[in-house]
Protein backbone atom coordinates (compact mmCIF):
# COMPACT_ATOMS: atom_id res chain seq x y z
CA UNK A 1 0.00 0.00 0.00
CA UNK A 2 1.31 3.45 -0.99
CA UNK A 3 2.06 5.60 2.04
CA UNK A 4 1.76 9.38 2.02
CA UNK A 5 4.80 11.16 3.42
CA UNK A 6 3.64 14.55 4.71
CA UNK A 7 7.18 15.80 5.29
CA UNK A 8 8.13 15.04 1.69
CA UNK A 9 4.99 16.81 0.46
CA UNK A 10 5.76 19.85 2.60
CA UNK A 11 9.41 19.93 1.51
CA UNK A 12 8.53 19.87 -2.19
CA UNK A 13 5.82 22.48 -1.69
CA UNK A 14 8.24 24.72 0.23
CA UNK A 15 10.86 24.31 -2.50
CA UNK A 16 8.39 25.62 -5.09
CA UNK A 17 7.55 28.56 -2.84
CA UNK A 18 11.21 29.47 -2.40
CA UNK A 19 11.82 29.23 -6.15
CA UNK A 20 8.78 31.40 -6.83
CA UNK A 21 9.92 34.24 -4.58
CA UNK A 22 13.57 34.03 -5.60
CA UNK A 23 12.99 34.08 -9.35
CA UNK A 24 11.49 37.56 -9.54
CA UNK A 25 12.05 37.79 -13.30
CA UNK A 26 9.92 34.65 -13.75
CA UNK A 27 7.11 36.19 -11.70
CA UNK A 28 7.20 39.47 -13.62
CA UNK A 29 7.42 37.67 -16.97
CA UNK A 30 4.46 35.42 -16.20
CA UNK A 31 2.27 38.29 -14.92
CA UNK A 32 3.06 40.86 -17.63
CA UNK A 33 0.98 39.30 -20.49
CA UNK A 34 -2.25 38.84 -18.47
CA UNK A 35 -1.84 42.32 -16.96
CA UNK A 36 -1.55 43.91 -20.41
CA UNK A 37 -4.53 41.86 -21.65
CA UNK A 38 -6.54 43.12 -18.69
CA UNK A 39 -5.40 46.73 -18.98
CA UNK A 40 -5.65 47.26 -22.73
CA UNK A 41 -8.71 45.15 -23.46
CA UNK A 42 -10.52 46.02 -20.23
CA UNK A 43 -10.03 49.77 -20.53
CA UNK A 44 -10.22 49.85 -24.34
CA UNK A 45 -13.56 48.03 -24.53
CA UNK A 46 -14.94 49.32 -21.22
CA UNK A 47 -17.68 51.38 -22.87
CA UNK A 48 -18.21 49.11 -25.88
CA UNK A 49 -21.38 47.07 -26.31
CA UNK A 50 -20.33 43.43 -26.74
CA UNK A 51 -22.97 40.96 -27.97
CA UNK A 52 -23.74 38.26 -25.41
CA UNK A 53 -22.72 40.33 -22.37
CA UNK A 54 -25.71 41.23 -20.15
CA UNK A 55 -26.78 44.85 -20.34
CA UNK A 56 -25.34 46.95 -17.54
CA UNK A 57 -22.31 44.69 -17.07
CA UNK A 58 -19.01 46.42 -17.82
CA UNK A 59 -16.58 44.57 -20.03
CA UNK A 60 -13.98 44.71 -17.25
CA UNK A 61 -16.35 42.67 -15.06
CA UNK A 62 -16.66 40.12 -17.84
CA UNK A 63 -12.97 40.12 -18.75
CA UNK A 64 -11.21 40.03 -15.36
CA UNK A 65 -12.31 36.47 -14.39
CA UNK A 66 -11.19 35.30 -17.83
CA UNK A 67 -7.75 36.85 -17.40
CA UNK A 68 -7.44 35.22 -13.98
CA UNK A 69 -8.27 31.91 -15.66
CA UNK A 70 -5.62 32.66 -18.29
CA UNK A 71 -3.03 33.32 -15.58
CA UNK A 72 -3.86 30.03 -13.85
CA UNK A 73 -3.74 28.14 -17.16
CA UNK A 74 -0.34 29.38 -18.25
CA UNK A 75 1.27 29.23 -14.81
CA UNK A 76 -0.03 25.72 -14.07
CA UNK A 77 0.79 24.05 -17.39
CA UNK A 78 4.29 25.49 -17.57
CA UNK A 79 4.98 24.29 -14.03
CA UNK A 80 5.86 21.01 -15.78
CA UNK A 81 9.08 22.71 -16.90
CA UNK A 82 10.39 22.32 -13.36
CA UNK A 83 10.21 18.54 -13.78
CA UNK A 84 12.35 18.70 -16.92
CA UNK A 85 14.71 21.16 -15.22
CA UNK A 86 15.11 18.84 -12.24
CA UNK A 87 15.70 15.88 -14.57
CA UNK A 88 18.37 17.86 -16.43
CA UNK A 89 20.32 18.64 -13.25
CA UNK A 90 19.82 15.36 -11.43
CA UNK A 91 17.47 16.50 -8.67
CA UNK A 92 14.66 14.37 -10.05
CA UNK A 93 16.75 11.22 -9.74
CA UNK A 94 17.57 12.07 -6.13
CA UNK A 95 13.95 12.46 -5.06
CA UNK A 96 12.74 9.49 -7.13
CA UNK A 97 15.18 7.11 -5.40
CA UNK A 98 14.44 8.54 -1.97
CA UNK A 99 12.47 6.30 0.42
CA UNK A 100 9.17 8.12 -0.21
CA UNK A 101 6.29 7.18 -2.47
CA UNK A 102 6.03 8.78 -5.88
CA UNK A 103 2.48 9.73 -5.00
CA UNK A 104 3.88 11.96 -2.25
CA UNK A 105 6.21 13.55 -4.80
CA UNK A 106 3.30 14.17 -7.17
CA UNK A 107 1.17 15.71 -4.41
CA UNK A 108 4.02 17.95 -3.22
CA UNK A 109 4.82 19.18 -6.72
CA UNK A 110 1.16 19.70 -7.58
CA UNK A 111 0.50 21.57 -4.33
CA UNK A 112 3.45 23.86 -5.00
CA UNK A 113 2.42 24.53 -8.59
CA UNK A 114 -1.20 25.19 -7.65
CA UNK A 115 -0.21 27.54 -4.81
CA UNK A 116 2.05 29.65 -7.03
CA UNK A 117 -0.61 29.73 -9.75
CA UNK A 118 -3.24 30.91 -7.26
CA UNK A 119 -0.91 33.59 -5.94
CA UNK A 120 -0.46 34.92 -9.46
CA UNK A 121 -4.21 34.77 -10.06
CA UNK A 122 -4.86 36.78 -6.88
CA UNK A 123 -2.21 39.31 -7.91
CA UNK A 124 -4.08 39.85 -11.20
CA UNK A 125 -7.30 40.30 -9.23
CA UNK A 126 -5.91 43.46 -7.58
CA UNK A 127 -5.54 45.59 -10.75
CA UNK A 128 -8.92 44.23 -11.88
CA UNK A 129 -10.53 45.72 -8.76
CA UNK A 130 -8.65 48.99 -9.31
CA UNK A 131 -9.98 49.13 -12.91
CA UNK A 132 -13.55 48.70 -11.71
CA UNK A 133 -14.21 45.00 -11.14
CA UNK A 134 -17.13 44.62 -8.73
CA UNK A 135 -16.78 41.45 -6.65
CA UNK A 136 -20.01 39.69 -5.66
CA UNK A 137 -19.36 39.71 -1.89
CA UNK A 138 -17.06 37.67 0.34
CA UNK A 139 -18.93 34.44 -0.35
CA UNK A 140 -18.36 34.90 -4.08
CA UNK A 141 -14.66 35.55 -3.49
CA UNK A 142 -14.31 32.39 -1.37
CA UNK A 143 -16.09 30.33 -4.02
CA UNK A 144 -13.75 31.74 -6.65
CA UNK A 145 -10.79 30.41 -4.62
CA UNK A 146 -12.25 26.91 -4.95
CA UNK A 147 -12.49 27.33 -8.72
CA UNK A 148 -8.90 28.60 -8.79
CA UNK A 149 -7.72 25.48 -6.94
CA UNK A 150 -9.57 23.22 -9.38
CA UNK A 151 -8.27 25.07 -12.46
CA UNK A 152 -4.71 25.08 -11.11
CA UNK A 153 -4.79 21.38 -10.18
CA UNK A 154 -6.29 20.36 -13.54
CA UNK A 155 -3.72 22.09 -15.71
CA UNK A 156 -0.82 21.46 -13.37
CA UNK A 157 -1.61 17.75 -13.69
CA UNK A 158 -1.78 18.06 -17.47
CA UNK A 159 1.59 19.82 -17.53
CA UNK A 160 3.03 17.12 -15.26
CA UNK A 161 1.67 14.40 -17.56
CA UNK A 162 3.37 15.92 -20.62
CA UNK A 163 6.61 16.58 -18.72
CA UNK A 164 6.69 12.96 -17.56
CA UNK A 165 6.83 11.74 -21.16
CA UNK A 166 9.24 14.36 -22.53
CA UNK A 167 12.89 15.12 -21.94
CA UNK A 168 13.46 18.26 -24.01
CA UNK A 169 12.58 21.60 -22.40
CA UNK A 170 12.26 23.50 -25.68
CA UNK A 171 10.01 20.78 -27.08
CA UNK A 172 7.84 20.93 -23.98
CA UNK A 173 7.45 24.70 -24.34
CA UNK A 174 6.41 24.35 -27.98
CA UNK A 175 3.85 21.66 -27.18
CA UNK A 176 2.42 23.65 -24.29
CA UNK A 177 2.13 26.82 -26.37
CA UNK A 178 0.39 24.84 -29.10
CA UNK A 179 -2.06 23.49 -26.51
CA UNK A 180 -2.75 26.39 -24.16
CA UNK A 181 -3.66 29.08 -26.68
CA UNK A 182 -6.61 27.16 -28.19
CA UNK A 183 -7.71 26.23 -24.65
CA UNK A 184 -7.59 29.89 -23.65
CA UNK A 185 -9.31 31.27 -26.74
CA UNK A 186 -12.09 28.65 -26.68
CA UNK A 187 -12.83 29.17 -22.98
CA UNK A 188 -14.92 32.31 -23.32
CA UNK A 189 -12.34 34.33 -21.40
CA UNK A 190 -12.38 37.23 -23.90
CA UNK A 191 -15.88 36.95 -25.35
CA UNK A 192 -19.06 35.00 -24.60
CA UNK A 193 -19.08 31.35 -25.70
CA UNK A 194 -22.42 31.84 -27.46
CA UNK A 195 -20.71 34.25 -29.89
CA UNK A 196 -18.73 31.38 -31.38
CA UNK A 197 -19.96 29.76 -34.62
CA UNK A 198 -22.20 26.72 -34.18
CA UNK A 199 -19.54 24.38 -35.59
CA UNK A 200 -16.90 25.65 -33.14
CA UNK A 201 -19.00 25.87 -29.99
CA UNK A 202 -18.86 22.10 -29.19
CA UNK A 203 -15.06 22.38 -28.91
CA UNK A 204 -15.57 25.09 -26.32
CA UNK A 205 -17.82 22.76 -24.33
CA UNK A 206 -15.01 20.17 -24.32
CA UNK A 207 -12.56 22.73 -22.92
CA UNK A 208 -12.15 22.39 -19.12
CA UNK A 209 -11.17 26.05 -18.82
CA UNK A 210 -14.60 27.04 -20.17
CA UNK A 211 -16.20 25.81 -16.95
CA UNK A 212 -13.41 27.27 -14.84
CA UNK A 213 -13.75 30.75 -16.34
CA UNK A 214 -17.54 30.55 -16.21
CA UNK A 215 -17.33 29.50 -12.56
CA UNK A 216 -14.96 32.36 -11.74
CA UNK A 217 -17.23 34.79 -13.53
CA UNK A 218 -20.31 33.49 -11.74
CA UNK A 219 -18.70 33.56 -8.30
CA UNK A 220 -16.91 36.91 -8.65
CA UNK A 221 -19.45 38.86 -10.70
CA UNK A 222 -22.66 36.88 -10.31
CA UNK A 223 -23.13 36.25 -14.07
CA UNK A 224 -22.50 32.83 -15.62
CA UNK A 225 -23.46 30.96 -18.79
CA UNK A 226 -23.93 27.64 -16.97
CA UNK A 227 -25.27 27.06 -13.43
CA UNK A 228 -22.43 27.30 -10.92
CA UNK A 229 -23.17 23.80 -9.61
CA UNK A 230 -22.74 22.44 -13.14
CA UNK A 231 -19.43 24.32 -13.60
CA UNK A 232 -18.22 22.95 -10.28
CA UNK A 233 -19.24 19.38 -11.11
CA UNK A 234 -17.62 19.30 -14.57
CA UNK A 235 -14.43 20.97 -13.36
CA UNK A 236 -14.16 18.63 -10.36
CA UNK A 237 -14.51 15.55 -12.57
CA UNK A 238 -11.98 16.91 -15.05
CA UNK A 239 -9.59 17.78 -12.22
CA UNK A 240 -9.82 14.26 -10.79
CA UNK A 241 -9.22 12.61 -14.18
CA UNK A 242 -6.26 14.89 -14.96
CA UNK A 243 -4.76 14.29 -11.52
CA UNK A 244 -5.03 10.50 -11.87
CA UNK A 245 -3.48 10.54 -15.36
CA UNK A 246 -0.69 12.91 -14.31
CA UNK A 247 0.14 10.83 -11.23
CA UNK A 248 0.09 7.59 -13.24
CA UNK A 249 2.39 8.89 -15.98
CA UNK A 250 4.78 10.39 -13.43
CA UNK A 251 4.80 7.06 -11.58
CA UNK A 252 5.80 5.31 -14.82
CA UNK A 253 8.23 7.98 -16.00
CA UNK A 254 11.88 7.25 -16.69
CA UNK A 255 14.23 9.15 -14.35
CA UNK A 256 17.27 8.83 -16.63
pLDDT at 92: 66
Q: Are 225 and 194 in contact (CB under 8 A)?
A: yes
Q: Give per-residue pLDDT as tens, 172-229.
A: 778 788 888 899 988 888 888 888 888 888 999 999 999 999 999 999 888 888 899 9
pLDDT at 1: 44
> Residue 230: is its pLDDT beyond 50?
yes
Query: What average pLDDT does this structure show over 26-37?
Result: 72
pLDDT at 255: 55
> Residue 89: is its pLDDT beyond 70?
no
d(CA 80, CA 147): 21
Ordered by start, the domain boundaries in the chain are: 6-251
| Confidence band for 91, pLDDT divided at 50, 70 and 90 | low
> Residue 10: is its pLDDT beyond 70?
yes
Q: Give per-residue pLDDT as tens, 38-85.
A: 777 767 666 666 666 777 677 888 888 888 998 898 888 877 777 777
Q: Give per-residue pLDDT as tens, 95-107.
A: 766 677 777 778 8
Q: Give per-residue pLDDT as tens, 136-184.
A: 888 888 999 999 999 999 998 888 888 877 777 777 778 788 888 899 9
Amino acid sequence: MTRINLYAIYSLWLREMVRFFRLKSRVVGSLAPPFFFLAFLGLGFKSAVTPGIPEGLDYIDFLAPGIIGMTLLFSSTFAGLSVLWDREFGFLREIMVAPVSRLSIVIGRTAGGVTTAMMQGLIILVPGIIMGLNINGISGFLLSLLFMVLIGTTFNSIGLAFASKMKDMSGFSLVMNFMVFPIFLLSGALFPVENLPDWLRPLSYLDPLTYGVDGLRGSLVGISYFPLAFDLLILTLTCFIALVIGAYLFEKSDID
